Chain A
């Protein structure tokens, strides 16, 4: 089922029951002189900040950029973003914990994210079995970050998965070894099943040829 850690009473906020250290002051905006930020990351974040009327709007793209570099929103990543954006780490932590695609637990920057949709339409078509099969095949391999995900907006190719943002489907349990082999080898995943190559289902929209063909 869901891989989001959930406590018995239903909370999914990590550390919800950790005692707060009341003696400790909250972290301030990191000092640029003491916070090394990789130059590429800095320029990417600054470019994002420049494209909005308010710099805060760049929080999501900036965190995403830091995550691409570090693999997850680690304290170091948060610190670097906070430094460039002139925000406190707590502000960015609060943002990062809200979104499913920003990871607040460790992942390697080389890990491939495999999101398997297990929402209603996909599960009607066998997504739960697919997810279990992918999880089992991936095992403890740190190359993969396999997650059960909420509706990914591709119910036409149910059951489906998103591999580093590339949508593939409809998948069967038999596709799993090939899927993981493709990811390991760095090849395009299941090229014949990629969403982008799929024609529109509305046969009338694609003209008489397609109508006759399908």
Chain B
């Protein structure tokens, strides 16, 4: 049984209320942090070595330390626009333990020197936003948020901002534009948000899970937290597992355990008699791995070494009953729909990828099309302002590389079905 930091007593009735949260020790970390100087709080975050839980896996402490010092107005934004397909961990955290997030935000704002903060929550999560609003009102009434928090002299405003349905607003600069009341188009980086973010001011942006972990880090101490997990992937992580598994859901694991233990041990593996065909280790943006890769330890570096990524910690399992082309098409169509259209490689690349995959399904493709699809992906990666295009290109390229035989067979079957009189040999 691994340590539970975020999911401890998560189903305790009324945990979303201040009363129950305080009874089990809530806001003690905030009191502790208010006794410390901002530098000491930052030192704890750095010592914990916690890496961002939103997808990129950047060290949180380092991110905070990039913010300029001094009296300029700084902002903290919590990214609760959880839209990566397969990911639903932040939803459960905000819904069941909203005060843990609020406490984490106030502590992180102390380290960052921010006086205004925002939670950008996706519009679809209206139930969770209502819960957050209620929790925020309770916290403000108790003096945990607002002017002169608990008499410490530190102040922080917090607004729950609801999005309106756009995946791209989970990208940090797209989120900032959206929060400024614009279309959610990503910005050119640099400057990074730490220097010029919201309203052009220095801004710290962190994911819900990262910020929710902050109270635990302060409570146990950064060094102690760093002992969990592996050396470079410290701590516990929420994993959302879905698709063809018997017990889908969120699980809190210690980073570094074998992936098989999550897919089979916790989630029960695919239904009886079926095998894992492929799995996305970190949301639909991650390159797929196959059933043979299930022994890879589940942490940032091991997955990167295996050719994929931990991403948002969302495992999607696909079993052998599903044609791989269906998976590729679903993924590509999603990114086509969500591309904001600002950069040409992404806007055109996602559309052409869908068009070519559909040609395969209609029996109109030639074997050369697979090469062209792979080539298109190559031309998307790294050529756009944000990584939305890459997020399609990486899984599609990996599917084309790893399931070439199946795609060719699919192509040939579809061709014969569409043209029954055609010669049985593939057109070279």
B318-336 with Cβ < 8 A to chain A:
318, 322, 326-327, 330-331, 333-334, 336
Q: Does A131 contact B (CB under 8 A)?
A: no
The verdict on A10 contacting B316 (CB below 8 Å), with A64-B162, A196-B127, A202-B251 known, is: no
Q: Does B83 contact A (CB under 8 A)?
A: yes
Q: Does A82 contact B (CB under 8 A)?
A: no
Nearest CB of A to B181, in Å:
4
Q: Are A4 and B91 in contact (CB under 8 A)?
A: no
Q: Are B8 and A205 in contact (CB under 8 A)?
A: yes
B174-205 with Cβ < 8 A to chain A:
178-184, 199
A61 to B121, CA, bound (A): 12
Q: Are A200 and B250 in contact (CB under 8 A)?
A: yes
Q: Are B180 and A121 in contact (CB under 8 A)?
A: no
Q: Are B165 and A58 in contact (CB under 8 A)?
A: no
Q: Does A41 contact B (CB under 8 A)?
A: no
The verdict on A98 contacting B183 (CB below 8 Å), with A2-B337, A162-B124 known, is: yes
The verdict on A155 contacting B88 (CB below 8 Å), with A119-B334, A210-B11 known, is: yes
A204 to B7, CA, bound (A): 9
Interface residue from A10, A53, A119, A201 paired with B336 (Cβ < 8 Å): A10
- Chain A residues near B123 (CB-CB < 8 A): 60, 64, 99, 101
Q: Are B250 and A201 in contact (CB under 8 A)?
A: yes
- Chain B residues near A166 (CB-CB < 8 A): 127
A94 to B92, CA, bound (A): 33
A10 to B341, CA, bound (A): 11
- Chain A residues near B367 (CB-CB < 8 A): none
Q: Are B164 and A101 in contact (CB under 8 A)?
A: yes
B378-393 with Cβ < 8 A to chain A:
none
Q: Does B95 contact A (CB under 8 A)?
A: yes
Q: Are A207 and B9 in contact (CB under 8 A)?
A: yes
**Which of B240, B322, B331 is packed against the most chain A CB atoms within 10 Å?**
B240
Q: Does B361 contact A (CB under 8 A)?
A: no
Nearest CB of A to B254, in Å:
12
Q: Does A153 contact B (CB under 8 A)?
A: yes
Nearest CB of A to B272, in Å:
16
A105 to B116, CA, bound (A): 36
- Chain B residues near A196 (CB-CB < 8 A): 95, 127
- Chain B residues near A9 (CB-CB < 8 A): 351
The residue in chain B whose Cβ has the minimal distance to the Cβ of A55 is B181
A63 to B123, CA, bound (A): 12
Q: Does B299 contact A (CB under 8 A)?
A: no
Binding stretch for chain A, among B33-41, B209-217, B241-249: B241-249
Q: Are A156 and B7 in contact (CB under 8 A)?
A: no
Nearest CB of A to B123, in Å:
5
A199 to B11, CA, bound (A): 6
A1-52 with Cβ < 8 A to chain B:
1-2, 4, 9-10, 12, 51-52
Q: Does B44 contact A (CB under 8 A)?
A: no
The verdict on A154 contacting B163 (CB below 8 Å), with A120-B330, A196-B95, A199-B11 known, is: no
Q: Are A154 and B85 in contact (CB under 8 A)?
A: no
The verdict on A151 contacting B250 (CB below 8 Å), with A102-B164, A120-B243 known, is: no
- Chain B residues near A63 (CB-CB < 8 A): 164
The verdict on A99 contacting B166 (CB below 8 Å), with A155-B316, A156-B240 known, is: yes
Q: Are B247 and A205 in contact (CB under 8 A)?
A: no
A73 to B84, CA, bound (A): 27
B327-361 with Cβ < 8 A to chain A:
327, 330-331, 333-334, 336-338, 340, 351, 354-355
A115 to B14, CA, bound (A): 29
- Chain A residues near B63 (CB-CB < 8 A): none
A137-173 interface code vs B (CB 8 A; 1 in, 0 out): 0000000000001111111101000100111000000
Q: Are B11 and A61 in contact (CB under 8 A)?
A: no
Q: Are A120 and B337 in contact (CB under 8 A)?
A: no
Q: Are A123 and B337 in contact (CB under 8 A)?
A: no
A4 to B337, CA, bound (A): 9
**Which of B95, B167, B336, B337 is packed against the most chain A CB atoms within 10 Å?**
B337
A52-94 interface code vs B (CB 8 A; 1 in, 0 out): 1111111111011000000000000000000000000000001
A101 to B4, CA, bound (A): 36
Q: Are B250 and A156 in contact (CB under 8 A)?
A: yes
Q: Are A205 and B334 in contact (CB under 8 A)?
A: no
Q: Are B88 and A154 in contact (CB under 8 A)?
A: yes
Q: Are B182 and A56 in contact (CB under 8 A)?
A: yes
A64 to B164, CA, bound (A): 8
The verdict on A201 contacting B249 (CB below 8 Å), with A60-B181, A95-B182, A207-B9 known, is: yes
Q: Are A124 and B199 in contact (CB under 8 A)?
A: no
A115 to B126, CA, bound (A): 13
Q: Does A133 contact B (CB under 8 A)?
A: no
**Which of A1, A61, A166 is packed against the most chain B CB atoms within 10 Å?**
A61
Q: Does B10 contact A (CB under 8 A)?
A: yes
Interface residue from B88, B161, B164, B327 paired with A99 (Cβ < 8 Å): B164
Q: Does B46 contact A (CB under 8 A)?
A: no
A63 to B182, CA, bound (A): 12
- Chain A residues near B55 (CB-CB < 8 A): none
Q: Are A200 and B96 in contact (CB under 8 A)?
A: yes
- Chain A residues near B354 (CB-CB < 8 A): 10
Q: Does A206 contact B (CB under 8 A)?
A: yes
Which residues on A are within 8 Å of B, measured CB to CB? Answer: 1-2, 4, 9-10, 12, 51-61, 63-64, 94-95, 98-102, 115, 119-121, 123-125, 149-156, 158, 162, 165-167, 195-196, 199-202, 204-207, 210, 214
Pairs across A and B, CB under 8 Å, 27 listed: A10-B355, A61-B162, A98-B184, A100-B165, A100-B166, A119-B284, A120-B86, A120-B280, A120-B331, A121-B243, A123-B326, A150-B337, A151-B84, A153-B91, A153-B124, A155-B314, A155-B316, A156-B242, A158-B243, A162-B124, A200-B7, A200-B249, A205-B4, A205-B7, A205-B8, A206-B9, A206-B10
